[in-house]
Amino acid sequence: MGMTITQKILARHCHKEFVEPGELIMADVDLALANDITGPVSIEEFKKAGGKKVFDREKIALIPDHFAPNKDIKSAGLCKTLRDFAKEQQIVHYYEVGRMGVEHALLPEQGIVLPGDLVVGADSHTCTYGALGAFSTGVGSTDLAFAMMTGKCWFKVPETIKFIYHGKLNPWVTGKDLILYTIGDIGVDGALYKAMEFTGDALKNLTMDERFTMTNMAIEAGGKNGIMEPDDITIEYAKARAKRDFEILRSDDDAKYCQIIDYDVSKIEPQIALPHLPENTVGISEVGNISIDQVVIGSCTNGRLEDMRIAAKVIKGHKVHPDVRLIVIPATQNVYRQMITEGIIEIFIEAGAVVSTPTCGPCLGGYMGILAKGERAVSTTNRNFVGRMGHPESEIYLASPAVAAASAVKGRIAHPEEVAKI
């Protein structure tokens, strides 16, 4: 019997020819990742368990991105714990402020995660790397401490749901809209414990940045991982960055899926997830007149160069609405620099937006754009839970960068076509 790409990667990492859904395996990890919130808990556990040396200093990434640049004294302490441990253990992939970026944008960009890899990260959006044809999943700090000590993590091999996207995308419909639509369809626990494999003609022309957005949000449907088979676009992206060999794996024709879901993308318009769950998704034409106070464009979901390009395209020549704060956060230093080169930062500043250094910041209600009681934000981030971005009585509407930019101009949730021509 054939295997899905997820099964194949798991099988290779536990040195077996075949693994089947439900099987418990102990697998080798190619990379173990933590940030300034989850890392210190892992480091504490690592030391409590008598850990002296990490299993491989080249296979661990420690990235201060959530509350960095340090937002307060306690956060400074957490970042220092991460930095001190990285120095003590001579961790190769530690990225200091000034070189760091939002972890799930930075690691693929730097070629640290590659197709065929098995990655665990103490961050739920670790599932992002599936766009490269890797198996990656979020774990807690204890699992991560175990992985740092042993280079291993145990897994139950998941069943896979296959999502097939076919047809022609409508103008202004992006990877973000496809994944929001999908989560709206299956619900926030629609893929609980399962692998989500995204495929179909409609994805063929999506840029890597849009693909990362889709796999990034697999966790928002409860998925263990999101994954796509590598194609020419993936291979070109990986080759341009890789400093080691990587393996291209694809699902077998006779691989077994627990469910196959088919979408005609020509019926999908730009999507909005209403408060307070990512599954509360509606087409933008159904939203009505919703005035807003803030717009955030950034995060591990939508802080990459293509996201910035499309938002700038929408906003060019317009001004941010007087009642709106537009906060733009490039996810990495390279994205930031390229935005300067292409004149994108100029466009945002001219429009009246603020452009920040890379940070997760407002996405999780850390800093750099906290909402007051009763305020509403349109955000390109991934979660609109109660209190996620500030006061428990604030509201978050999740959308694509194009919709976010158009909304910043109009002062209400707006379709990009109201502001710009594609």
Partner 1 sequence: MIYKGKAWIFGDNIDTDVIIPARYLNTTDPAELASRCMEDVAPGFSKKINAGDIIIAGKNFGCGSSREHAPLAIKASGISCVIARSFARIFYRNSINIGLPILECEEAVDSIKAGDELEVDTDTGVIKNLTSGGIYTAMPFPDFIKGIIQAQGLLNYARKAENRNV
The residues that touch partner 1, with contacts defined as CB under 8 A, are: 37-38, 40-41, 44-45, 48-50, 66-67, 71-72, 74-75, 77-78, 121-124, 126, 138-143, 145-146, 188-189, 192-193, 219, 222, 224, 277, 364-366, 370, 383, 385-388, 392
Closer residue to partner 1 in complex, CB, 333/356: 356
- Least Å distance, CB 237 to partner 1, is 26
Taking the complex as a whole, how short is the minimal distance between the CB of residue 223 and partner 1, in angstroms? Answer: 9
Token pair, residue 396, equals 């978050």
Nearer to partner 1, 210 or 395 (CB): 395
Q: How far is the CB of 142 from partner 1 (least distance, A)?
A: 4
- What's the min distance (Å) between Cβ of 236 and partner 1? 31
Q: Of the two residues 72 and 96, which places its CB atom closer to partner 1 in the complex?
A: 72
Residue with tokens 């990009």: 416
Least distance from partner 1 to the Cβ atom of residue 282, Å = 18
Please say whether the beta carbons of 175 and 213 come within 8 A: yes
Which is nearest to 225 in space by CA: 175, 157, 323, 291?
A: 157
Cis peptide before 276 (omega within 30 of 0): yes
Minimum CB separation of residue 351 from partner 1 in Å reads 29
Q: Are 278 and 383 in contact (CB under 8 A)?
A: yes
CB closer to partner 1, 6 vs 38: 38
Task: Give least dist CB 79 to partner 1, A.
Answer: 10
Closer CB to partner 1, 67 or 237, in the complex: 67
Asked whether 105 and 335 are in contact (CB, 8 A), the reply is yes
Cβ of residue 365: shortest distance to partner 1, in angstroms? 5
Q: Which is nearer to partner 1, 140 or 283 (CB)?
A: 140
Q: Residue 366's closest CA among 351, 376, 381?
A: 381
Please name which of 257, 5, 33 lies closest in space to residue 115, comparing C-alpha atoms: 5
Q: Which is nearer to partner 1, 41 or 208 (CB)?
A: 41
CB closer to partner 1 out of 327 and 420: 327
Asked if the peptide bond before residue 392 counts as cis, ω within 30 degrees of 0, the response is no
∠ CA 22-23-24, nearest 5°, is 115
To partner 1, the closest distance from the beta carbon of 334 in angstroms equals 26
How many whole angstroms separate alpha carbon 256 and alpha carbon 209? Answer: 28
Q: Maximum CA pair distance of the chain?
A: 61
Could you tell me the smallest distance in angstroms from the CB atom of residue 80 to partner 1? Answer: 12
State the Cα–Cα distance between residues 104 and 141, nearest whole angstrom. 17
Distance of CA 177 to the CA centre of its chain: 14
**Residue with smaller CB distance to partner 1, 71 or 309:** 71
Structural tokens at position 389: 């971005």
CA distances to 34, 58, 62, 107 from 88, rounded to whole Å, are: 16, 14, 13, 22
d(CA 71, CA 73): 7
Residue indicated by tokens 């307070």: 276
Residue with tokens 């209403």: 274
Q: What residues does 34 pair with on adjacent strands?
A: 62
Nearer to partner 1, 371 or 414 (CB): 371
DSSP 23-67: -EEEEE-SEEEEETTHHHHHHHHHHHTT--S-S-TTSEEEE--SS
Task: CB nearer to partner 1: give 67 or 263.
Answer: 67
Q: How far apart are CA 263 and CA 329, in angstroms?
A: 32
333: nearest Cα among 12, 99, 160, 157: 99
Minimum gap (Å) between residue 63 Cβ and partner 1? 14
The single residue listed with the structure tokens 């910035």 is: 308
